[in-house]
Chain A
Amino acid sequence: MLDKFKTAFVLTLIGALSGVSIYFVNDFTEEFISENIRVKEEGFYKDIFGVSDDVEITFTKSAIDDLEEVIVYLKDDNSLVGYIYKASDKNNYGDITVLVGVKDGNLENVVISKTTNTPNFANIIKQDYLQNFTGQSTSDVTFDAKTGASYTYGSVEDIVTSAVEYYNAERGDE
């Protein structure tokens, strides 16, 4: 009986010490990780609108159903740079997060910011198909019919469609 108590006590102690160590390391690294995520996100926003690295931007975020709307401004004069719609999807290859940049009624850029889809398939879509969205009008977006059959492109298509639908309905007149 005493042996069982000893075993249970040792396991509890190991579990508790593990939890405490993870808590303190999390507490210490949390700020750095959030900052890294922010910098990376800002980098994506700048890439989407072709803003150079030395120009500072600010942005506001709001959640709309499955989408997140990010409104990007230049820090200097607070002028509008554009809108970004961020959404995630789950397909048979894994998860995917896509950013859709819209400016003056046109698609500025579509970027896959995070994905666990099969890297080769995701890379093919990134390199050969996303650029086709650039410059398309939000009122008439055409998708690649052949590639549309792939799970990765299917997710991109769904997210772009919902982003464009929201933009046309809510921001189309801006």
Chain B
Amino acid sequence: MTKKENFLKGFIKENPIFVFLLGMCPALAVTATFETSLGMGILVIMVLTLSNTIISLVRKYIPDDVRTPSYIVIIATLVTIIRMLTDAFAPDLAEALGVFIPLIVVNCLILGRAESFASKNNVVDSAIDGVGMGLGFTFALVVIGIFRELLATGGIMYGVYLPFFVSKEITLFSFDMIIHLFNDTFVIKDYMLSMFSLPPGAFIALAFILAFMQGRKAKKDRIAENERLKKIQELKEKAAMKKAAAAKLAKEAA
């Protein structure tokens, strides 16, 4: 596997949430808005990259029988450090994510990558895997977050929890922006499905997105299967024609 393939595999092909269904707890719990999803994603990228790197560095010195507890201690340390830094520099995000920051310790994606990749590969590849998988995880969270926030509020906000690049909250997108081009009085926000900001909405949103992803995959598989059958049919026809030609030649020779 090339470094580029290693980096890109986490986005779609081996996406932790959409393909492996790993780390579902934060995927359902903190994706009520785009911003909390992005915040959680950034924290997971940091923890995953650092844990993969450190575990890959020390993998040869850790005895096999205490591998898992050692990894857990390393991951827990990193999560504690990240939590302190979040509390210090992004207190609103820390409050919004609440208990889900410490819960990154038990996110099966982190331990899963440590066990299946970092413990068997070199530091550079492990770090690339960590960044790639983390970005794939963030991508999935952000897709769910945007889907839920749009359906629940009719818009996407930024600057409420993440203190980066903006001094106050801004609306990145709103259905009202489009509607107000034609009608000034109608406010779609009043008619949105607030259920999508609640836990049941998370399950329904994830179901829609997974169904869409599976639908696309099934369609791709069906096209590939049809092409395979078509090729087999062509080969069969060619073989039959060759056979007929050979039989004709044999008849003529006789």
Q: Which A residues are within 8 Å of any B CB, using their own CB?
A: 3, 6-7, 10-11, 14-15, 17-18, 21-22, 25-26, 29, 32-33, 36, 40, 116, 120
Q: Which B residues are within 8 Å of any A CB, using their own CB?
A: 58, 61-63, 65-66, 69-70, 73-74, 76-77, 80-81, 84-85, 87-89, 91, 98-99, 198
State A18–B70 Cα separation when bound (angstroms): 11
Please state if B81 and A22 are interface contacts (CB–CB under 8 Å): yes
Contacts of A21 in B (CB 8 A): 77, 81
In the complex, residue of chain A having the shortest beta-carbon distance to the beta carbon of B65: A7
Contacts of B74 in A (CB 8 A): 14, 18
Known contacts A10-B63, A32-B88, A40-B91; A22/B77 CB under 8 A = yes
Please state if B73 and A29 are interface contacts (CB–CB under 8 Å): no
Say whether chain B's binding surface is mostly helix, strand, loop, or mixed: helix
Enumerate the 6 nearest inter-chain pairs by beta-carbon distance, A residue then B residue, closest first. A32-B88, A18-B77, A29-B88, A36-B91, A29-B84, A25-B81
Known contacts A10-B70, A18-B73; A36/B88 CB under 8 A = yes
Contacts of A22 in B (CB 8 A): 77, 80-81, 84
With A10-B63, A26-B84 given, name 8 new contacts (CB 8 A): A11-B66, A14-B58, A14-B73, A17-B77, A22-B77, A29-B88, A36-B88, A36-B91
Q: List 10 A-B contacts (CB under 8 A).
A: A10-B66, A11-B70, A14-B58, A18-B73, A25-B80, A32-B89, A33-B88, A36-B91, A40-B91, A116-B99
State A10–B73 Cα separation when bound (angstroms): 12
Query: Total contacts A to B, CB within 8 angstroms?
Result: 53
State A92–B80 Cα separation when bound (angstroms): 27
Please state if A10 and B88 are interface contacts (CB–CB under 8 Å): no
Please state if B66 and A29 are interface contacts (CB–CB under 8 Å): no
State A7–B64 Cα separation when bound (angstroms): 9
Known contacts A7-B63, A14-B74, A18-B77; A33/B69 CB under 8 A = no
- Most chain B CB inside 10 Å of its own CB: which residue of A6, A18, A21: A18
Question: What's the nearest-Cβ distance from chain A to residue B176, in Å?
Answer: 23
Question: What's the nearest-Cβ distance from chain B to residue A24, in Å?
Answer: 9
Contacts of A25 in B (CB 8 A): 80-81, 84-85
Contacts of A29 in B (CB 8 A): 84-85, 87-88
Question: What's the nearest-Cβ distance from chain B to residue A20, in Å?
Answer: 10
In the complex, residue of chain A having the shortest beta-carbon distance to the beta carbon of B86: A29
State A169–B88 Cα separation when bound (angstroms): 40
- Most chain B CB inside 10 Å of its own CB: which residue of A3, A6, A10: A10
State A120–B198 Cα separation when bound (angstroms): 9
Contacts of A40 in B (CB 8 A): 91
State A27–B77 Cα separation when bound (angstroms): 15
Please state if A11 and B69 are interface contacts (CB–CB under 8 Å): yes
State A11–B62 Cα separation when bound (angstroms): 8
In the complex, residue of chain B having the shortest beta-carbon distance to the beta carbon of A7: B63
Contacts of B70 in A (CB 8 A): 10-11, 14
- Most chain A CB inside 10 Å of its own CB: which residue of B62, B69, B74, B81: B81
State A18–B91 Cα separation when bound (angstroms): 24
Please state if A7 and B66 are interface contacts (CB–CB under 8 Å): yes
Please state if B61 and A10 are interface contacts (CB–CB under 8 Å): yes
Contacts of B91 in A (CB 8 A): 33, 36, 40
State A118–B61 Cα separation when bound (angstroms): 45
Contacts of B73 in A (CB 8 A): 14-15, 18
